[in-house]
């Protein structure tokens, strides 16, 4: 037997001239010139593109036909680790407690509440009912008014991230006010429950205007318009319900606008005008503002306070000073205390401070773990909630009394098919990069997995936007680990795993560090006996998919498989197209190749699509979503076509496009697992050489 023949993507060369530089794109035709309409209506996709993507999907299915039983087994294992009738720990708010729960077999959850301390449940919305007849359905934000009279939710019905917001009167169960279309997934009620603030997405899918309407329906009034295409918008309220906030920002610059909750129809006032490179966020702590910022050279951030009505920079004074290497990731304000989250050397911790400034640390013992603060709805409380987990320890929800320092375990993630943490070991290694940087690696493996290079390794990486890859618990990863694989996470630069400076050392002019760090991690695993060259599956998604494309070009010999999920691989073309949703907001991350020749040359030097060359590539699986506004479907499609045209090897290069979803893949909790099962089955098949014997 031999592998089926892949689709032949025709070359239709387009020559592009930019800043005195010329490049040729053979597959530019895969971008539908009517892509904005395709986001709203996937049926509008041009016929020749649809035919090509359909052929690619059929080819991938044919090549991996021999893995279908394995895919089904992996899916069954993962599903077996999910408590199907699960529920969140109820979050108290006045007379009620709110929660989300699943019924057995349901793809989507029910949002509900009950009287505080127990009583009859009231269903707020049943997502499964709302999703009936829809190939895709995802609820972004959902929330209630402080008086508990109204409930609103934002739903995306095709993966394009254009949301529709609806409001329900909880006393009658009826929707009120009419649907809000073309919305962003974020909204907030004013604390008095009278108004709804929402964000409009323009024809290029960018959030650009904040509107206010009566919560029960009425005229939409423009509150704020952002003229800079490079900024994202968000809305919210302060912890003490004293202000409504409009958040403006990108990766390196932020600005906050304030509306007094006592005057929700007042015009917003800027707190501190934006300054390029300065990030700040703030909350109101009863009688003062608390500001988290990197201003004044505070690379790993500091906390300031201001007693001014409008907290401009001139009124800030240091409250928690900057300490290099201690990255303050966020904070939560309560009436009597402030909780801040910190990360030191890729490990999280919580610090509780009272209003007099006395503080204590909430400590943990494992070698690698993840910690997440859940702030809840209530301000006048001594209780906060956090979630603790590690690669071997399922999630645990604790209520923490900030006054008595007592922890109360509220819930432990249940694994119906069973889980014995004692069977596994999690380790933290450090690879030395070429410039001497110590790059953390988190490993999960069975205790009896040999350390002789015989075990296959899956090495995961991301390394962009300052997102840290936390050492969390995953029901999915166990399906590989239980088969003798080693699951490894490379905490490369570009993330904030070791602080904000770790991010700054992996962006723009220093982006290459992300790629070389990942390669250094692979080589360290080989040197330490955990891995063997050619038996490592590299895995990453979105900007992590760009990492996959870069390391495939730089060191194809290291990898036995490359899995690139919704991969950002056509970096130069995308960053040169101002019509795309994320292009202007992402120039701070990558540089602007339209105006800056150095940025053009730098991006061209690593852009995976542009750097494909004649060499033997390992097996590749690239996935995408037709409705994806973040990494458009044509990026993986073009990349796969170019890889096939240039590879000098025989390894298969596969493309799988979800024709009914966007960036996050399938919306159902079980359907999503089928996509992960495909990724893992491909990794096993590729590493075991299944493609060589097909």
pLDDT digits (tens, 9 = 90+) for 159-170: 999 999 999 999
Which pLDDT score, from 0 to 100, does residue 660 have? 86
Report whether 187 contacts 196 (CB < 8 A).
yes
Report whether 266 contacts 281 (CB < 8 A).
no
Please count the residues of the chain.
Answer: 694
Label residue 694 by pLDDT band (50, 70, 90): low
- Dig out the tokens for 65 from the structure: 């036909």
Element (H, E) at 620: strand 620-625
- Any idea which residue has 């809840």 for tokens? 376
Tens of pLDDT, residue by residue over 8-18, are 999 999 999 99
Is 80 exceeded by the pLDDT of residue 667? no
Candidates 150, 164, 241, 233; CA nearest to 194 is 150
The pairs formed by 160-167 with CB atoms below 8 angstroms and a separation of 24 or more are 160/39, 160/40, 160/205, 160/627, 160/628, 160/629, 160/662, 161/185, 161/201, 161/205, 161/629, 161/630, 161/662, 161/663, 162/39, 162/40, 162/201, 162/205, 165/196, 165/198, 167/196, 167/215, 167/216, 167/217
- Any idea which residue has 């150095």 for tokens? 598
Please give the full DSSP string across 195-256, using - where no structure is assigned.
EEEEEEE-TTS-EEEEEEEETTS---EEEEE---TT-EEEEEE-TTSSEEEEEEE-SS-EEE
The residues carrying an active-site annotation are: 542, 628, 663
- Any idea which residue has 């959850």 for tokens? 109
- Dig out the tokens for 264 from the structure: 């929700």
Average pLDDT, the chain: 96
Which pLDDT score, from 0 to 100, does residue 367 have? 82
Reduced to 3 states (helix: H, G, I; strand: E, B; else coil), residue 602 is helix
E strands present in 91-216: 91-93, 96-101, 110-115, 122-126, 138-144, 150-156, 163-169, 174-189, 195-201, 207-214
Question: In angstroms, what CA-CA distances link 604 with 57, 394, 569, 608?
Answer: 29, 42, 11, 9
Which pLDDT score, from 0 to 100, does residue 69 have? 98
Tens of pLDDT, residue by residue over 649-665, are 999 999 999 998 777 77
Element (H, E) at 540: strand 536-541
β-pairing, 110-115 vs 122-126, is antiparallel
Tens of pLDDT, residue by residue over 397-452, are 999 999 999 999 999 999 999 999 999 999 999 999 999 999 999 999 999 999 99
Cα gap 308→21, rounded to integer Å: 52
CA of residue 281 relative to chain centroid, distance:
20
Which pLDDT score, from 0 to 100, does residue 227 have? 95
CA of residue 384 relative to chain centroid, distance:
24
Is 90 exceeded by the pLDDT of residue 394? yes
Candidates 78, 76, 77, 74; CA nearest to 685 is 74
E strands present in 553-604: 559-565
Candidates 504, 655, 482; CA nearest to 569 is 655
Cα gap 52→57, rounded to integer Å: 9
Rounded to the nearest 10°, the torsion over CA 525, 527, 528, 529 is 90
E strands present in 413-456: 424-432, 438-446
- Any idea which residue has 């031999």 for tokens? 2
Tens of pLDDT, residue by residue over 18-61, are 999 999 999 999 999 999 999 889 999 999 999 999 999 999 99
Percent of the chain with pLDDT over 70: 100
Tens of pLDDT, residue by residue over 300-356, are 999 999 999 999 999 999 999 999 999 999 999 999 999 999 998 788 999 999 998
Label residue 259 by pLDDT band (50, 70, 90): very high
DSSP state of 308: S
Which pLDDT score, from 0 to 100, does residue 664 have? 76
pTM, rounded to two decimals: 0.93
| Contacts for 18 with CB less than 8 Å, ≥ 6 apart | 576, 593, 594, 600
* Strands ordered across the beta sheet of 254-260: 232-237, 243-249, 254-260, 269-270
- Any idea which residue has 């009425």 for tokens? 218
Tens of pLDDT, residue by residue over 559-575, are 999 999 999 999 999 99
- Dig out the tokens for 533 from the structure: 């060259």
Is 80 exceeded by the pLDDT of residue 693? no
Q: Where are the alpha helices (DSSP H) in 374-483?
A: 478-481
Is 90 exceeded by the pLDDT of residue 204? no
- Dig out the tokens for 49 from the structure: 């593109």
Reduced to 3 states (helix: H, G, I; strand: E, B; else coil), residue 404 is coil
Cα gap 357→44, rounded to integer Å: 59
Reduced to 3 states (helix: H, G, I; strand: E, B; else coil), residue 113 is strand
Is 90 exceeded by the pLDDT of residue 628? no
Sign of CA dihedral 186, 192, 196, 198: negative
Average pLDDT estimate for 110-126: 96
- Neighbouring C-beta atoms of residue 396, cutoff 10 Å: 17
Label residue 688 by pLDDT band (50, 70, 90): very high
Tens of pLDDT, residue by residue over 501-552, are 999 999 999 999 999 999 999 999 999 999 999 999 999 999 999 999 999 9
Task: Give the range among 197-211, 473-487, 529-543 with minimum mean pLDDT.
Answer: 197-211
Tens of pLDDT, residue by residue over 210-241, are 999 999 999 999 999 999 999 999 999 999 99
Rg (CA), the chain: 25
E strands present in 67-137: 91-93, 96-101, 110-115, 122-126
Is 60 exceeded by the pLDDT of residue 1? no
């Amino acid at each position: 037997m031999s592998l089926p023949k892949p689709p032949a993507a025709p070359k239709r060369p387009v020559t592009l001239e930019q800043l005195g530089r010329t490049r040729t794109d053979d597959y530019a035709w895969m971008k539908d010139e009517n892509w904005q309409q395709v986001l709203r209506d996937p049926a509008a996709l041009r016929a020749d593109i649809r035919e090509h993507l359909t052929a690619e999907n059929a080819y991938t299915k044919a090549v991996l036909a021999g893995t279908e039983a394995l895919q089904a087994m992996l899916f069954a294992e993962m599903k077996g680790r999910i408590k199907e009738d699960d529920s969140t720990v109820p979050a108290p708010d006045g007379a009620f407690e709110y929660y989300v729960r699943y019924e057995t077999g349901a793809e989507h959850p029910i949002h509900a509440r009950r009287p505080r301390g127990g009583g009859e449940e009231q269903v707020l919305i049943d997502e499964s009912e709302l999703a009936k007849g829809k190939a895709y359905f995802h609820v972004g934000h959902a929330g209630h008014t402080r008086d508990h009279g109204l409930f609103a939710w934002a739903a995306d019905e095709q993966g394009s991230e254009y949301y529709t917001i609806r409001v329900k009167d909880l006393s009658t169960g009826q929707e009120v006010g009419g649907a809000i279309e073309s919305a962003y997934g974020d909204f907030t009620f004013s604390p008095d429950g009278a108004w709804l603030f929402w964000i409009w997405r323009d024809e290029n899918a960018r959030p650009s205007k904040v509107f206010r309407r009566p919560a029960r329906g009425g005229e939409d009034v423009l509150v704020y318009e952002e003229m800079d295409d490079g900024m994202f918008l968000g809305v919210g309220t302060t912890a003490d319900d004293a202000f409504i906030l409009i958040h403006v920002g990108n990766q390196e610059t932020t600005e906050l606008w304030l509306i007094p909750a006592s005057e929700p129809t007042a015009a917003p006032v800027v707190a501190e005008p934006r300054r390029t490179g300065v990030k700040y966020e703030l909350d109101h702590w009863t009688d003062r503002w608390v500001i988290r910022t990197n201003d004044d050279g505070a690379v790993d951030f500091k906390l300031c306070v201001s007693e001014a009505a409008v907290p401009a920079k001139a009124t800030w004074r240091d409250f928690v000073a900057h300490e290099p290497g201690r990255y303050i990731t966020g904070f939560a304000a309560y009436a009597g205390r402030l909780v801040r989250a910190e990360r030191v050397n890729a490990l999280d911790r919580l610090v509780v401070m009272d209003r007099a400034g006395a503080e204590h640390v909430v400590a943990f013992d494992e070698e690698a773990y993840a910690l997440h603060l859940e702030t809840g709805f209530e301000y006048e409380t001594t209780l906060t909630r956090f979630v603790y987990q590690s690669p071997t320890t399922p999630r645990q929800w604790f209520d923490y009394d900030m006054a008595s320092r007592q922890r109360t375990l509220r819930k432990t993630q249940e694994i119906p098919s069973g889980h014995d943490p004692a069977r596994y070991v999690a380790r933290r290694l450090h690879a030395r990069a070429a410039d001497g940087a110590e790059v953390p690696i988190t490993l999960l493996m069975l205790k009896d997995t040999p350390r002789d290079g015989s075990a296959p390794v899956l090495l995961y990486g991301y390394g962009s936007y300052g997102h840290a890859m936390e050492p969390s618990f995953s029901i999915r990863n166990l399906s590989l680990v239980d088969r003798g694989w080693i699951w490894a996470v490379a905490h490369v630069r570009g993330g904030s795993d070791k602080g904000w400076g770790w991010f700054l050392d992996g962006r723009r002019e220093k982006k290459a560090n992300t790629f070389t760090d990942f390669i250094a991690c692979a080589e360290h695993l080989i040197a330490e006996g955990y891995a063997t060259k050619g038996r490592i599956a590299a895995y990453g998604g979105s900007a992590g998919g760009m990492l996959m494309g870069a390391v495939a070009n730089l060191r194809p010999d290291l990898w036995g498989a490359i899995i690139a999920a919704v991969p950002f691989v056509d970096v130069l073309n995308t960053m040169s197209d101002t019509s795309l949703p994320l292009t202007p907001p992402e120039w701070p991350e990558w540089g602007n190749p339209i105006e800056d020749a150095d940025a053009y040359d730098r991006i061209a030097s690593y852009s995976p699509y542009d750097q494909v060359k004649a060499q033997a590539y390992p097996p590749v699986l690239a996935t995408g979503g037709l409705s994806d506004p973040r990494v458009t479907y044509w990026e993986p499609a073009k990349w796969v076509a170019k890889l096939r045209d240039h590879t000098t090897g025989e390894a298969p290069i596969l493309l799988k496009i979800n024709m009914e979803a966007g960036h996050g893949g399938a919306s159902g909790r079980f359907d999503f697992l089928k996509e992960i099962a495909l990724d893992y089955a491909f990794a096993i098949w590729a590493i075991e050489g299944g493609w060589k014997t097909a």
